[in-house]
Structure 1
């Protein structure tokens, strides 16, 4: 029926990308700011992995129910609502600075960020072809990681103590609200979104689901634990900010390559190759004897870790009809969130070594590399050509 057709010709990229860019700068700074600022608020540093995990638990819970909210109020209004909720959690953290309040606030923040991700990803993925989706997702990831890298650079000049850094984050989030608040056109017509059935979820690509899961297992510790680990490696906070920015800059710079290769190469093979180079980057970090080698290794680690999610989500959406894109992105975000919740906790218990988090990242990358290579070989042995979507 004509009523069930989702219109995409007026689906503009300006509002989601502009809002996301400011959000990414704020979020990038905030993710490193929280673990580094605990002492200035009298909160014990042992809360670092718990604050990271509970944030991703909120992300996980949010990923299970965002689709119905977007269907009721639309992409633009949902974007405004979720950004407003995120702002309110920071205000509560500043008003009542104690461990319990911060844990609750970060849980709610995770829910809000899940909403932001589902809104923006589905907004951009509602395109007419797989090639256009890859390009739009590349733009999304470049804006997200580029903004996050800029946010990391604020650690040095802005500082990590007291209220002022958090006020800067609030200012950036308020700027993020302006594009969807002022531009009322350009959102996709999504009144007829359909929920994926359980049987359809079971048929989604397993490498796609695992790719999103592993992306969470990697990025949860990278955001939540690496700032503290890097601080123990370097001489001053500015270097911590530079190395964190380098990680995310690597994730941003690799996105054009992902967009170019994704429609042309087997996606499971592509994920295997990125995991292989990521494992080599971990070896470089452990063996580095100079800041330059360390920075290059961290950049490669970031490029490989941040490449997995866009490859996996486009793999999942390649065979999905337009009206089920929101639901599919919700499932992929759910997989990512499960990994993000488990990642920081697994990383801290992986070994007793001071390099525990790095060993953990190397283990995840190596095992995922082997799995993706096996899946690629299986495609060949079963007579299927490893074309895009494999």
Structure 2
């Protein structure tokens, strides 16, 4: 895998953060819009898990080949290229509402989004100090999840029928492109270096890799299938956009807590703690009889599900020099993408039950919790204090 090196003087995060914010609003709205608009375009609702999986398969494929494009044309032009490709995929869905076209468009969109992630993550993480990397990662996650939460709120006023919602997404993506178009300075200096050796890949933390995998297994169905589940519940249907926004808002609000706790307790134990809270929130959704209880449960579910990826990625990068950070994050993205491909299809197997997706999410969270607890106990030497991560 190709690595990047950058100097902090040449790296200004303004363009990627502004662009990412508009991209996140558009992407968050689009992820919920697609499964909810299938009927309006006379497409089978059973297409929803396939659309989610093919999107994440595109993300998986894109994560393996995007980095060399960034090296060749630079971060700024790569950002513009991938956002433009995403716009074309959305327009293709709108112009040709056929199952085959939508599947291909979502695959292309997945590759484009992988490009956006690699560009923005490397742009922000390519700085000289671990403290600065942690601060920028928090900024990245907050912008991404905050924008996604805001995007969910567009469901109620814009609806899910006709061309207007999709044109709104295109408009937001055009605004995202303006940032790298108008801010022409500040991209990191990049150069091609040696590939990360296979033997070093094998030494990456297994809990980190599995934490990213579990994150994909959770977030793939949450983005792809949860809107359909909420819309099918008579007492929740009118609040579909709001409840999806609350899930993602939980993911945004938990980021400062994740950053604070990551340096104060073992990361394996921290992932186990959030998985336990997530499993408890699933029980809360199933058992609560009040709307306020439902809101709190969805908020905690979002916080737990979105907390895993940043904890896992920092666990993987804890002992790595700056020159290897991007290659490590690329491997984490591959692991996340694999989980995101499998997640919607596995969750679809629970569709016969009325609460199938919640049973699936609860099972994933409980299983990951047990694994991380076992790993955290192995990290505790006899008679010593726990090691971090």
Aligned to 1:263: 263
Aligned to 1:329: 329
> 1:294-338 CA deviation, whole Å, 9 max, x = no partner?
111000000010011011111112222222222222111100000
> 1:140-175 CA deviation, whole Å, 9 max, x = no partner?
111111100000000000110010000000000000
Contact 1:156 1:237 in 2 (8 A): no
Aligned to 1:75: 75
Within a 5 Å distance, the mapping from 1:186-205 to structure 2 comes to: 186-205=186-205
Relative to structure 1, is the Cα distance of residues 382 and 183 closer, same or farther in structure 2, using a 3 angstrom cutoff? farther
Residue 349 (1) aligns with residue 354 (2): no
> 1:243-264 CA deviation, whole Å, 9 max, x = no partner?
0000000000001111112222
Contact 2:5 2:126 in 1 (8 A): no
Unaligned runs of 5+ in 2: none
Aligned to 1:182: 182
SS of the equivalent of 1:289 reads coil
SS of the equivalent of 2:367 reads helix
Contact 2:279 2:365 in 1 (8 A): yes
- Distance in 2 (CA, whole Å) between partners of 1:141 and 1:5 is 22
Residue 64 (1) aligns with residue 61 (2): no
Aligned to 1:117: 117
SS of the equivalent of 1:161 reads coil
- Distance in 1 (CA, whole Å) between partners of 2:149 and 2:272 is 25
Paired residue total: 386
SS of the equivalent of 1:55 reads helix
- Distance in 1 (CA, whole Å) between partners of 2:301 and 2:204 is 28
Q: Higher mean Cα deviation, 353-362 or 181-190?
A: 181-190
Relative to structure 1, is the Cα distance of residues 382 and 199 closer, same or farther in structure 2, using a 3 angstrom cutoff? farther
Query: Aligned-pair RMSD on alpha carbons?
Result: 1.6
Unaligned runs of 5+ in 1: none
Aligned to 1:106: 106
SS of the equivalent of 1:39 reads coil
- Distance in 1 (CA, whole Å) between partners of 2:62 and 2:7 is 26
- Distance in 2 (CA, whole Å) between partners of 1:116 and 1:383 is 46
Aligned to 2:216: 216
Relative to structure 1, is the Cα distance of residues 274 and 194 closer, same or farther in structure 2, using a 3 angstrom cutoff? farther
Aligned to 1:96: 96
- Distance in 2 (CA, whole Å) between partners of 1:384 and 1:19 is 46
- Distance in 2 (CA, whole Å) between partners of 1:199 and 1:234 is 53
Q: Higher mean Cα deviation, 122-131 or 26-35?
A: 122-131
- Normalising by structure 2, we get a TM-score of 0.96
- Distance in 1 (CA, whole Å) between partners of 2:351 and 2:343 is 14
Q: Higher mean Cα deviation, 220-229 or 122-131?
A: 122-131
Relative to structure 1, is the Cα distance of residues 379 and 235 closer, same or farther in structure 2, using a 3 angstrom cutoff? closer
| Structure 1 residue 370, shift from structure 2 partner | 0.9
- Distance in 2 (CA, whole Å) between partners of 1:174 and 1:154 is 17
| Structure 1 residue 352, shift from structure 2 partner | 2.8
Aligned to 1:279: 279
- Distance in 2 (CA, whole Å) between partners of 1:381 and 1:258 is 24
Aligned to 2:293: 293
Aligned to 1:27: 27
- Distance in 1 (CA, whole Å) between partners of 2:116 and 2:19 is 10
| Structure 1 residue 7, shift from structure 2 partner | 1.1
Aligned to 2:14: 14
| Structure 1 residue 100, shift from structure 2 partner | 0.3
- Distance in 2 (CA, whole Å) between partners of 1:269 and 1:256 is 17
- Distance in 2 (CA, whole Å) between partners of 1:89 and 1:384 is 54
